[in-house]
DNA sequence: CAGAATCCCTAATGATACTG
DNA sequence: CAGTATCATTAGGGATTCTG
């Protein structure tokens, strides 16, 4: 959607990143996957190599059995994680990143880098906001 | 970044992306902001230039007045968006990306690019999964 | 071990009405 | 126009119990 300003000499509406080209297309799918509470943490752990169910649960601190199950299932469904069942007894299952999943770690790293680079800015902005808007509660 | 899987000589878990270095640190803050339902769409719209409240609401299809308010407030609090009130009557307010917010659009674009690049893979993986796991409901 | 099945609670979002 | 205030709904997530 072109939002060309009607301004006389106003410089064309800048879109430095070319984001207008794909407003929603597909981003939601990815955000729905990595935007939840645990997926990124699981992916990061799996970036270190294959893990069994209990290993993952111990590594990802605070995750419940239920949420770990749901998280790995969804990652598996999206083809980001490969689940392998070994017919031993008791059962043994391991999870590992697929090619797509491994590629996703690059994106996660970009996110982590950006977060670290701007962490101080954001923290400061929040403090400033909370100081100047004491009554306001938007969390 | 090489993903060479030696297998034999690498007892140590490989971390091709260096993700282990910052497991959680700061990523959550960013994901909590861009992981919600509307923030990315608002940011993308603002990447096209300053917008007034109603303009934003019309541009971001489906967003309620309440959620738009909450979304821009949170973005403002994090220093990603600048809110300017003009003391006219009726009131006039515009929103624009700050420096940090504009920088964030780079990350959003990386996300969009990745999403587009892997959209087919993911869609196919899902279909395959749903076909082989008919009863399973994990959404 | 690796889950499946329940129950319960809270946060997130939506709908509607009202205001400076 | 640009919100605020309420109420209703739903999705996400946690705790617990049970099983192959």
Nearest to B78 by CA among B30, B42, B26: B30
- φ and ψ at B16, to 5 degrees? -55, -30
Residue B56: partners with Cβ closer than 8 Å, 6 or more residues away: B42, B45, B46, B68, B72, B95
Q: How far is A90 from chain B (nearest CA, A)?
A: 23
pLDDT of residue A24: 52
* Whole-number Å distance between alpha carbons of B100 and B66: 25
């209990």: which residue's tokens? A54
Whether A65 sits with its Cβ under 7 A from any strand D atom: the answer reads yes
CA of A102 to C1' of C1 (A): 26
Of the given ranges (A10-24, B63-77, B87-101), which has the lowest mean pLDDT?
Answer: A10-24
User: Predicted confidence band at B135 (pLDDT cuts at 50, 70, 90)?
Assistant: confident
Listed in sequence order, the DSSP H helices in B24-98 are: 27-34, 39-46, 53-59, 65-77
The verdict on a CB contact (< 8 Å) between A20 and B108 is no
pLDDT of residue B52: 98
Whether A62 sits with its Cβ under 7 A from any strand D atom: the answer reads yes
Residues in A closer than 8 angstroms to B38, CB to CB, are none
* Whole-number Å distance between alpha carbons of A135 and A133: 6
- Would you call A83 an interface residue with chain B, using a CB distance cutoff of 8 Å? no
User: Which of B 9-48 lie inside 8 A of A, CB atoms?
Assistant: 13-20, 22-27, 29-31, 34-36, 40-41, 44-45, 47-48
Average pLDDT (A29-40) is: 92
Residue B135: partners with Cβ closer than 8 Å, 6 or more residues away: none
* Whole-number Å distance between alpha carbons of A78 and A97: 11
Whether B90 sits with its Cβ under 7 A from any strand D atom: the answer reads yes
pLDDT of residue B53: 98
Please say if the pLDDT value at position A14 is more than 50. Answer: no
User: Predicted confidence band at B100 (pLDDT cuts at 50, 70, 90)?
Assistant: very high
Residue B23: both structure tokens together? 């497991």
Whether A37 sits with its Cβ under 7 A from any strand D atom: the answer reads yes
Residue B127: both structure tokens together? 């279909």
Residues in A closer than 8 angstroms to B125, CB to CB, are 77-80, 100
- Measured in whole angstroms, the distance separating CA A33 from the mean position of its chain's CA atoms is 7
- Nearest by CB to B17, from A40, A106, A128: name it: A106
A80 or A137: which leads in pLDDT: A80
């Amino acid at each position: 959607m072109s939002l060309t300003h009607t301004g006389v000499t106003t410089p064309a509406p800048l879109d430095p990143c070319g984001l207008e080209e794909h407003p929603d297309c597909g981003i939601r799918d990815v955000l729905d996957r990595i935007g939840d509470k645990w997926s990124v943490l699981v992916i990061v752990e799996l970036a270190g190599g294959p893990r069994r169910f209990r290993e993952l649960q111990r590594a990802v601190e605070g995750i419940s059995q239920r949420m770990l199950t749901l998280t790995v299932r969804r990652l598996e469904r999206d083809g980001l994680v490969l689940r392998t069942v070994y017919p031993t007894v008791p059962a043994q299952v391991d999870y590992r990143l697929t090619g797509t999943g491994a590629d996703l770690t690059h994106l996660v790293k970009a996110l982590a880098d950006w977060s670290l680079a701007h962490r101080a800015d954001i923290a400061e902005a929040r403090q400033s906001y909370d100081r100047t808007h004491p009554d306001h509660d938007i969390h």
